Amino acid sequence: MILSFVEHESGVPDELSLESLTMAREIATGTGEPLEAAVLGAEGGALADELGPYGVEEVHHVVHDRLDGEGYAPQAWGESIAQLAADLDAGTVTGPSTDRGHEVLAHAGATLDAPMATNCTAVDVDNGAYELERNRWGGSLIEHARLEGEPTLVTAAEHEYPVEEADAAVEPAVSEFSPSLPDTAFAVQLDRVETSDEEGIALGEARVVVGGGRGVGNPDDYDQLETLADLLDGTVGASRAAVNEGWRPHDDQIGQTGAKISPDIYIACGISGAIQHMVGCKGAENILAINTDPEAAIIQKADYAVIGDLHDVVPALNEELEERS
C-alpha cells in the first residue's frame, strides 16, 4: 500500500501535496498497490471529497486532542505518520517537498529506522528496490540512487510532477487513527504564526512572473516591470544580482537560494541566466527573455527572446497592453 502524507489549509490540500499525489499514484500504478492518504488536523476528515479525483482510495484522519488543539509539533506529527504506516503495513510513504513535508517524513523515517529520499523527480520500484532520481544542490545536480527497505519514504521535488487527476475518480473511505504520543513528542511546538507584510501574488503561485536582473540598472526602473506584471495579473521577481544590489527584497529572489517558480510564462528582463537562477525558473512553462546580449545564457535557454534594451521593450509592451485593455 502507498501512503501519502497530505498537507492542507482548512481542509483544502496544498498544491505541492497534490503534486506528490501524482508521484504516489505513479508508484501505486507500477506496483499494483492501492493509494491511501494520511491527513492531520481538525479539518482533515473533510478532505475525502478533495482527494477522490486524485485516485486516493482511503483517507486516514489522524486524530489526537493535542494534534487538533495545539500548534504543529514536528516530532508528534512524524511519530503519528510512523505509527499509521506501521499499522497499515505501508510499503511506501510519500509527501510533498515542503519544509513540513520533509520534517514530518524525516521524523517518521527515524522512528521506523527506514530509508528516506527527498526531492525525487522519478521513482521506479522493482521487487521492493527503489531506483530514484532526485534533485541535489537546488537541482543543479541530478542524483541517481537506489534504496532498499520497508517502508521507503520519498518526497516529490517541487514542481517536477504536475497536479494531475486520476483517469477515474473514486469515493474514498474515511477512517480515524489515534496515535499514542508521549509528552516528549511535543517538546518542540509551533507557538505563533507571523504573516508576511508582502502584498500581491506569491512568486511560487503566480501564473505570470516578470523578473529583473542587473540589466534593469537601478531600483526605480523596476516600476516598468511592476506595470507589466500588473497588466498581466502577475508578480515581479528578481535575480540574486539585483537583490545583492539592494534593488529588491530577498523575498523576490528567484533561484537556487531563492524562490522556485512555475508560471505559465516567465518574462526575464536584463537577466544573464546563471545556472543558479535557472534552477529557480526551470519549472516555467515558457520563458521569454529580453536582453541586449544575444550570447547571454538565458537567450539560449528561453522559448522566446527579444534582443533589445528592456528600457525600450518593456514600455512598448506596457503601452500595447494598456491599449488592448
Residue pair 91/152 in contact by the 8 Å Cβ criterion: yes
Domains and CATH numbers, the chain: 2-186 (3.40.50.620), 208-324 (3.40.50.1220)
Residue pair 297/274 in contact (Cβ under 8 Å)? The answer is yes
| Mean pLDDT in residue range 89-93 | 96
Q: CA-CA distances (angstroms) from residue 233 to 5, 229, 280, 290?
A: 32, 6, 20, 19
- pLDDT at res. 214: 94
Helix (H) or strand (E) holding 118: strand 116-126
299 contact partners, CB below 8 Å, separation of at least 6? 273, 289, 291, 293, 305, 307
Q: Which residues lie closer than 8 Å to 105 by C-beta, 6 or more apart?
A: 5, 78, 81, 93, 95, 116, 118, 153, 155
pLDDT given for residue 198 in this prediction: 64
Q: What is the pLDDT of residues 7-38, one digit of tens each?
A: 998 888 999 999 999 999 999 999 999 999 99
Give residue 139's pLDDT band: very low, low, confident or very high (50, 70, 90): low
Comparing C-alpha atoms, which of 74, 282, 87 is closest to residue 178?
Answer: 87
Segment holding 112, helix H or strand E: helix 99-112
Please state the separation of Cα 83 from the chain's center in Å.
26
Closest C-alpha among 264, 269, 275, 254 to residue 313:
269
pLDDT, residue 126, reads 86
264 CB neighbour count, 10 Å cutoff: 13
- Say what the alpha-carbon torsion angle 167, 172, 178, 183 is, to the nearest 10 degrees: 40
Q: In 10 A of CB 189, how many CB atoms?
A: 14
> Between 192 and 51, where is the model more confident?
51
Query: What pLDDT is stored for residue 135 in this prediction?
Result: 84
What span, in angstroms and rounded, lies between the C-alpha atoms of 160 and 152?
20
Q: Report pLDDT digits (tens) over 158-212.
A: 888 999 999 988 999 999 999 999 999 999 999 887 776 666 788 888 999 999 9
- CA 241, 99, 170 angle in degrees (round to 5)? 120
- Mean pLDDT over each residue of the chain, to the nearest integer: 92
Q: Supply the pLDDT for residue 197.
A: 65
Give pLDDT tens digits for 62-82.
Answer: 999 888 777 899 999 999 999
- As given in the structure block, the three cell numbers for residue 307 are 534582443
Average the pLDDT over 260-285 and give the result: 91
From residue 193, give the alpha-carbon distance in Å to each of 196, 197, 201, 250: 10, 13, 19, 20
Q: Say what the pLDDT of residue 61 is.
A: 95
Query: 296-301: long-range contacts (C-beta < 8 A, 24 or more apart)?
Result: 296/271, 296/272, 297/272, 297/273, 298/268, 298/271, 298/272, 298/273, 299/273, 300/273, 301/273
Nearest alpha carbon to residue 100 among 60, 142, 71: 71
